[in-house]
Amino acid sequence: MVAFLSFIVPFLPLVASFVHPGLLVSDSDISRTQKKIKANQDPWTTSWNTLTSLSFSDVSYTPSPVSVVYRDTWDGHAANAELLWHDVAAAFNLGLRWKISRNTSFADAASNILHSWATTLTAIDGGDDKYLTAGLQGYELANAAELLRDYQPFVDDVLPAVVEMANNIFIPMHYRWLNHEEPSEHNVLHFFANWELCNVASAMAMGVLTENQTVWDFAVDYFKSGDGTGAINNAIVNIVEEPGTGALLGQGQESGRDQGHSALDIQLLGVIGQQAWNQGEDLFSFNDSRILRGTEYFARYNLGNDVPFVDYTNGIVSHTEISSASRGAIRPTWELLYGHYVMTKRVDAPWTTLYLNNSLEYYGGAEGGAGSWGEGSGHYDGLGWGSLLYHMDESDVVAAVSSKSALPTANSIPRASTTLDRALSATTTTSSLSSQSALVSQSTTTNFAAVSTASGTEIFASSITPSSMSSTTSASISTTSPPTPLDMSQEAPHHHHHTHHHHHHHAEGQALGACHERSMPSIYQSGASKPPAYRLISDSHESFAYLESNMTHPASTRRLCLSTVVPVKLAAVCDRLEPVCSQCRRAGKACGGYRDVPSFMFRDENDKAARRSAEAKAKTEARRKLEDSAALESDIDISTPGSGADRSPSNTLVRRSRGQLILTPRIIAPLSIPLEDQGLRFFVNRFVTRMANRTGRSLHAGTVQPCPHLGAVARDQSSRDAVVSVGLAALSNVNNDRELRILSREKHAMVIKTVQEVVENPAQANPDRTFHLIVMLSLYEMVSCTPSQLDSWIVHMDGAAALLKQSTFRLSLKNLNHRAHLQFYFVSIVRYFSKKVVSPDILNWSPDLVPSAPPEILPGVDLVDILVRFTKFDAYVHHRKPDARAVVDSALLFEDELREWETHLPVDWSFTVEESNTCEYTFRGQYHVYKDMWVARIFNHYRWARLLVNETIVSQISKMTRPTANDVIQRQKALHTIACMGIEICAGAASQEAIFAQGVTEDPSHIPLLNGTFMLLFPLGVAGGAAGTPDEVHDWVVEALERIGCTVGIRRALQMIPQLKKSVGKWKLEQRLWNSIYGYK
């Protein structure tokens, strides 16, 4: 009966007085936007032009309603939620065009979309994630409808059906979820904050849309004092003090999970606050402005600074440290937050200010909106368009303040008008201020007046009194202060971002790792004393105990559920209950129990892939007819017998890249070639080492043929399936071919099943074959990468590490040839720098593990040894935060050791730098010529390692409160080395790209199967996003990644680009602050 009443209460007729439009967009927002566009002012005009250029904003947009929406595959039903989030985005965009332009054709188009869904949708179904769809797309749908409140045809003909849909579908789901009536496993704090916050946001929006005061009150009361993670005190779980300033910051509930979902939480808190604000309820200031405290905490950490972290557990998960996964995540919410707190309320929010600047640089000057900055659910979880709707200058603030009877919690604070509206103070120092003044910093373009702190004025996030600040000097700026903001008075460059394959997460800007090298410096061989650079962590048993207790332990020591899928969906975390875990019980699967070697490390998408491939099987004939549009390059014929074909001419697709055009081949396949052979041939032509009859030192080659190791791979069916899955996935990316993508998933699922069989019976497995399959699974993750899964390839490497606990697999590793053996350790090192987790093979490394290495291999062994020690050193610094001076001293020893390594290389390792008249396969017209391809790859590891060592030097000196003159000089030298290593990485990468295309001329026994394309991603990522990297290096790296992503289909290359741009932007902010103090321009 209680449950029944909870369904009925929302429908009781209640008299309410709501403001319309009164959710995310108010009439004052529209009026301001209209004036700015009419005056042709930016960023309003730029944002408006972006909005109006989208297909989602066109009057010809056609909706695609369905009766039942599934966020993911469920009980034989394919996922189709993208139809809803696309249509809702279109309805909102068209509604905005109507409100701003008053052209009724846009109102009609938006009305048509809403009417089609209101008269078609009967349910949102599936697993627990149906409540995510109800929450995320629910508040968006209500906001779209709210924009049409003053369009009478909509009010008369469509609004009743939309209200009925809200009452019958969305509101009951919000009640069930927030009352914790579903699912059965939903204890109060079971799910992460974003699940409940989106339902709170939607319940509020639906309350306004339906004019139901009961629903509105329920949502607001839950946000204020609810018992789940959608309540503000549970969404922002702890209040902590900022190091150095004592300012209060709010630790987010998902901050120990990853930053992608933490960014979603911040976005949803902004939605909740804005919707309430426009109805006269100030949730932004509720509980001592807890939303802003959470915003400042997130922004500070995601700009690369440390924050305190209080251990968190909700009975399902436990987090003991903040997560760096997806660090720097961007969502279109910062204009809204900045506009409210800094512009409207005049609250000091330095980190929010800086993160807005960071976001604007990412978006190219104006914050994007749904449909404008990528695909995937993460790009449609928020409506955005903040620069259009919430950006304000000083005249707007005066108008806004005068239009309200009173601000709910803060009086307006006078401030000098400026062209740099958002450059509020990022420091906590000043030369002299009275005890009645708070600091607002000076920029290079504008002087800000001190602002009054009269009673009643809210000055957020500072326990330092103005009088205490006046005693400091500008030369002793706190090391915890944010860097100088971007000068927004200058027009930001507009960058073109690829908007396909995206998300959130995420994501997370790391790179690859499939190289075969590693080393220990020759000068420390044969019993030589331990190098001084090792002392910081090796001379203390406590340090090693700390490392081993905080790094990932061997998987065999953990209790992990065999049937649980790797948590790539929201809140997919195994609770490890026995005999059946909650996930398995809820999914209706038999729980395999707990195993020493966790099969869940291998992403179990078997059921999902099989369901998605069912359509492909049912449409085999139709798919054959589409084969002529599949991408294939048939210059190497490895087709199965009877499937031969002649080479076909290529068409070209044009992709926009940084203002230029990249010609991307769309390879046309003859009709007679089976799809599987197309995938295999594409893999060979793009990723397999080719042998050439090249003579001399020219970049050009004669005939080429595939690596001799390929035949053995093609003869084993599982190995062939693994290769085909990667080839088809890459091919589908190049040609955007859905049919090929479905088939690649089918093959991928078959490979996963094979590996899981190995996991269940490792004693009977063939280790070499198994490792090959695992490598292919990792490559598939790189090819199919989404922003939230930049490091998903590591999952399979973790699986391989777990298998190495088995004696048969451990023996197989020892039996590898020296080059392949070293490759394993280089991959482990790269894996650390991607995830900051030290694996057991690194902790257990010793040069003795590579016995009897021939002279030409010893430098590789030497380099691995240096890098392993640098990895442990970096882990110590990352976890223990030692004194900056000690870190710099140790890093300088690593720098000396790496330089010494290069000077003692044998003659056979030498290479030459050649000039070329063409730009192809060169960097600034230069390329490298090596005698051995493996040596070229080793040099890449040396260069990125030396770059990271010097980046450590730069960052640590920048943290010093009082660096000496020698420190300043050393920092400049480190920046010079970073620039040199970045240039060499680019020249070496260009040379290797030439080798990929033209082949090698070495001893076939030395040639690996893979040509190294995947291995280039990590050094390119390091060079393109490093502190101090020259603009020409960054630009070349971005173009190289775009080329790799577009021509060979590795999505990970494209997904790395936003992170590199953010890293460089952050560095420039920090350098600007440094220059303002120490004079280097």
Separation in Å, CA 62 to CA 80, 111, 114:
16, 12, 11
Per-residue pLDDT, 421: 35
* pLDDT digits 0-9 by tens, 872-910: 999 999 888 899 999 999 999 999 999 999 999 998 888
C-alpha–C-alpha distance, residues 976 and 515, integer Å? 27
Q: What band does 484 get if pLDDT is binned at 50, 70 and 90?
A: very low
Per-residue pLDDT, 775: 85
Q: What band does 802 get if pLDDT is binned at 50, 70 and 90?
A: confident
DSSP H or E run through 842:
helix 840-843
CB of 1061 closer than 8 Å to CB of 361: yes
Six-digit token pair at 652? 């070209």
Per DSSP, the three-state class of 100 is helix
Indicate if the pLDDT at residue 1078 is higher than 90. Answer: no
Indicate if the pLDDT at residue 389 is higher than 80. Answer: yes
Indicate if the pLDDT at residue 235 is higher than 80. Answer: yes
Q: Is the dihedral of CA 417, 242, 459, 264 positive or negative?
A: positive
C-alpha–C-alpha distance, residues 654 and 289, integer Å? 49
Per DSSP, the three-state class of 745 is helix
Name which of 175-179, 553-557, 601-605 the model is least confident about: 553-557
CB of 767 closer than 8 Å to CB of 812: yes
Six-digit token pair at 588? 């209706």
The rounded mean pLDDT for the chain is: 73
Indicate if the pLDDT at residue 644 is higher than 60. Answer: no
Mean of pLDDT values over 629-654: 35
Per-residue pLDDT, 739: 86
Task: Determine what percent of the chain is predicted with pLDDT higher than 90.
Answer: 40
Report the number of secondary-structure helices (H) and strands (E) in the chain: 40, 16
φ, ψ at 329 (rounded to 5°): -60, 140
C-alpha–C-alpha distance, residues 311 and 318, integer Å? 7
Name which of 666-670, 763-767, 898-902 the model is least confident about: 666-670
Omega of the bond prior to 855 within 30 degrees of 0, cis? no
Q: What band does 592 get if pLDDT is binned at 50, 70 and 90?
A: very low
Indicate if the pLDDT at residue 135 is higher than 90. Answer: yes
Indicate if the pLDDT at residue 250 is higher than 90. Answer: yes
What is the residue type of 966? N
Say which residue, 789 or 55, is predicted with more confidence. Answer: 55
Residue whose structure tokens are 């997904």:
1055
Indicate if the pLDDT at residue 859 is higher than 90. Answer: yes
> Counting Cβ atoms within 10 Å, is residue 480 exposed (0-12), middle (13-18) or buried (19+)?
middle
Q: What band does 474 get if pLDDT is binned at 50, 70 and 90?
A: very low
Per DSSP, the three-state class of 125 is strand
Indicate if the pLDDT at residue 544 is higher than 80. Answer: no
List CB contacts of 249: < 8 A, sequence separation 6 or more. 239, 240, 241, 242, 293, 294, 296, 297, 300, 307, 308, 461
Q: What band does 1007 get if pLDDT is binned at 50, 70 and 90?
A: low
List CB contacts of 490: < 8 A, sequence separation 6 or more. none
Indicate if the pLDDT at residue 837 is higher than 60. Answer: yes
C-alpha–C-alpha distance, residues 850 and 866, integer Å? 15
Q: What is the dihedral of CA 371, 377, 379, 384, to 10 degrees?
A: 80
CB of 794 closer than 8 Å to CB of 834: yes
Per-residue pLDDT, 759: 78
Which range scores top for mean pLDDT: 202-211, 621-630, 657-666, 777-786?
A: 202-211
> Does the pTM of the predicted model rise above 0.75?
no
Per-residue pLDDT, 917: 67
Q: What is the dihedral of CA 766, 772, 778, 783, to 10 degrees?
A: -140
* pLDDT digits 0-9 by tens, 278-334: 999 999 999 999 999 999 999 999 999 999 999 988 767 789 999 999 999 999 999
DSSP state letter for 378: G
C-alpha–C-alpha distance, residues 753 and 736, integer Å? 27
C-beta neighbour count of 902 within 10 angstroms:
14
Indicate if the pLDDT at residue 15 is higher than 60. Answer: no
Residue whose structure tokens are 């085999």:
620
Separation in Å, CA 384 to CA 109, 260, 334, 509:
20, 16, 9, 23
C-beta neighbour count of 1027 within 10 angstroms:
23
Per-residue pLDDT, 408: 35
Which range scores top for mean pLDDT: 26-40, 509-523, 1005-1019?
A: 26-40
Say which residue, 577 or 804, is predicted with more confidence. Answer: 804
Per-residue pLDDT, 688: 78
Which residues in 864-986 belong to E strands, given as ranges? 911-915, 926-930
Six-digit token pair at 810? 């451990």
Give the closest residue to 687 by CA, choosing from 1006, 902, 1008.
1008
Name which of 29-38, 652-661, 906-915 the model is least confident about: 652-661
Q: What band does 676 get if pLDDT is binned at 50, 70 and 90?
A: confident
CB of 399 closer than 8 Å to CB of 411: no
CB of 636 closer than 8 Å to CB of 1011: no
Name which of 405-409, 563-567, 1015-1019 the model is least confident about: 563-567
Say which residue, 429 or 191, is predicted with more confidence. Answer: 191
Give DSSP secondary structure letters for 620-683. Answer: HHHHHHTGGGS----SS--PPTT-------EEEEEEEETTEEEEEEEEPPPTTS-HHHHHHHHH
C-alpha–C-alpha distance, residues 597 and 760, integer Å? 8
Per-residue pLDDT, 276: 95
C-alpha–C-alpha distance, residues 785 and 780, integer Å? 8
Per-residue pLDDT, 533: 34
* pLDDT digits 0-9 by tens, 89-104: 999 999 999 999 999 9
Six-digit token pair at 914? 């050649």
Give DSSP secondary structure letters for 279-346. Answer: TT---SSHHHHHHHHHHHHHHHHHTT-------EE-SS-EESS---TTTT---TTHHHHHIIIIIIS-
Mean of pLDDT values over 943-964: 93
Separation in Å, CA 306 to CA 303, 707, 877, 1057:
9, 48, 12, 24
Q: What band does 545 get if pLDDT is binned at 50, 70 and 90?
A: very low
| HSE of 228, CA atoms in CB hemisphere, 13 A | 27
* pLDDT digits 0-9 by tens, 179-233: 887 654 555 666 789 999 999 999 999 999 999 999 999 999 999 999 889 999 9
Residue whose structure tokens are 């741009």:
1061
